[in-house]
Structure 1
Amino acid sequence: MGCCCQYGVELNRGGGAQMKRPFLFEARIGIILFSWLALMLFICPRLYALSNDDCADCHGDKDFSVVKNGKKISLYVNFDLFKQTVHAENGCLSCHEDADVEGDEHPVLGPVKCANCHDKIAEIYEKSAHSEFRQHGDMLAPKCSDCHTKHAIFPPTDKRSSVYKLNIPYTCGRCHREGSKMTKAEGYRLNQHNIVENYSMSIHGRGLFVDGLLVTAVCSDCHTAHNIRGEDDPLSSVNRKNIIDTCGRCHAGIVAKFKKSVHSPLVTKTKKRLPVCIDCHTSHTIKRPKGSGFRAIIASECGNCHEEESKTYIETYHGRASLLRGGAATAKCSDCHGSHYILPASSPDSTINKANLVKTCSKCHPKANVGFTEYLPHADYHQKGKYPYLYYTFLAMTGLLVGTFSFFGIHTLLWLGRSLYNRVIHLIRIK
Structure 2
Amino acid sequence: MNKKYLLKICSLVLLFSAVTILGKSTNAAQNAPKYQDECIKCHIENDMMPEHYTENDIHWQKGLSCAGCHGGDPKEIDEEKAMSKRNGFVGVPDKKEVPRFCGKCHSNLTEMQLYQARIPTDQESQYYVSIHGQQLKLGNKDVATCIDCHTSHEILPPSDTRSTVYAINIPKTCNKCHGNSELMSKYNLKSNQLKEYSKSVHGIALLEKQDVGAPACNDCHGNHGAKPPGVESISHVCGSCHINNMKYFNGSKMAKEFADMDIKACEECHGYHLINKPNDEMLNVDKSPICSDCHSEGEEGYDEAKMIYEKVKMLSFLYDSTKVRSAEVNIKGMNNIDIEYSLKNIKQDLIETRTLIHTFDTSKVFAKANEGILASYEAIKLADNEINEYFNRRLGYGIATIILILLAFALYLKIRSLNN
TM class by shorter chain equals: 0.5 to 0.7
Contact 1:248–1:255 (CA under 8 A) maintained in structure 2 = yes
Q: Distance in 1 between matches of 2:300 and 2:271?
A: 23
With over 3 angstroms needed to count, the CA separation of the structure-2 counterparts of 1:301 and 1:92, relative to structure 1, is same
Q: Distance in 2 between matches of 1:86 and 1:309?
A: 69
With over 3 angstroms needed to count, the CA separation of the structure-2 counterparts of 1:91 and 1:290, relative to structure 1, is same
Q: What amino acid sits opposite 1:138 in the alignment?
A: N
Q: Distance in 2 between matches of 1:94 and 1:135?
A: 25
Contact 2:157–2:163 (CA under 8 A) maintained in structure 1 = yes
Out of 39, 54, 63, the position equivalent to 1:55 is 39
Out of 238, 242, 246, the position equivalent to 2:237 is 246
Q: Give the superposed CA RMSD.
A: 4.3
Q: What amino acid sits opposite 1:156 in the alignment?
A: P
Deviation at 1:285, TM superposition (A): 0.5
Partner of 2:71: 97
Q: How does 1:156-235 map to 2 (within 5 A)?
A: 156-179=158-181, 181-184=182-185, 186=186, 188-190=187-189, 192-229=190-227, 231=228
Which runs of structure 1 show a deviation greater than 4 angstroms over 4 or more consecutive aligned residues?
84-87, 98-102, 105-108, 291-298, 308-314, 334-339, 360-363
Q: What amino acid sits opposite 1:133 in the alignment?
A: Q
Please tell me whether residue 341 in structure 1 is matched to residue 315 in structure 2.
no
Deviation at 1:343, TM superposition (A): 3.9
Out of 337, 350, 354, the position equivalent to 2:364 is 350
Q: Distance in 2 between matches of 1:177 and 1:297?
A: 36
Q: What amino acid sits opposite 1:351 in the alignment?
A: V
Q: How does 1:28-427 map to 2 (within 5 A)?
A: 53-60=37-44, 64-65=47-48, 75-76=50-51, 78=53, 80-82=55-57, 85=59, 88-97=62-71, 103-104=78-79, 106=83, 109-111=91-93, 113-119=101-107, 120-179=122-181, 181-184=182-185, 186=186, 188-190=187-189, 192-229=190-227, 231=228, 238-265=229-256, 271-273=260-262, 276-290=265-279, 299-308=288-297, 340-345=357-362, 349-351=363-365, 356=367, 359=370
RCO comparison, higher one (Cα < 8 Å, 6+): 2
Q: What amino acid sits opposite 2:47 in the alignment?
A: F
Secondary structure at 2:141's aligned position in 1? coil
Cα deviation 1:252-292 (Å, max 9, x = unaligned): 23223333333234xx7983446511111111010011287
With over 3 angstroms needed to count, the CA separation of the structure-2 counterparts of 1:183 and 1:298, relative to structure 1, is farther
Secondary structure at 2:288's aligned position in 1? helix
Cα deviation 1:196-228 (Å, max 9, x = unaligned): 110111111100111110110000000000111
Contact 1:99–1:109 (CA under 8 A) maintained in structure 2 = no
Cα deviation 1:130-173 (Å, max 9, x = unaligned): 12222333212111101011121122111121111011011101
Deviation at 1:76, TM superposition (A): 4.5
With over 3 angstroms needed to count, the CA separation of the structure-2 counterparts of 1:79 and 1:155, relative to structure 1, is closer
Tell me the percent identity.
26
Structure 2: state its 5+ residue gaps.
1-34, 85-89, 108-121, 311-315, 318-350, 378-420
Which 10-residue stretch deviates more, 240-249 or 93-102? 93-102
Structure 1: state its 5+ residue gaps.
1-50, 66-73, 232-237, 322-328, 367-431
Q: Distance in 1 between matches of 2:215 and 2:286?
A: 23
Q: What amino acid sits opposite 1:290 in the alignment?
A: N
Partner of 1:10: none
Q: What amino acid sits opposite 1:162 in the alignment?
A: T
| Structure having the higher Rg | 1
TM-score normalised to structure 2 length: 0.54
Q: Distance in 2 between matches of 1:261 and 1:167?
A: 37
Q: What amino acid sits opposite 1:183 in the alignment?
A: M
Q: What amino acid sits opposite 1:158 in the alignment?
A: D
TM-score normalised to structure 1 length: 0.53
Deviation at 1:116, TM superposition (A): 0.7
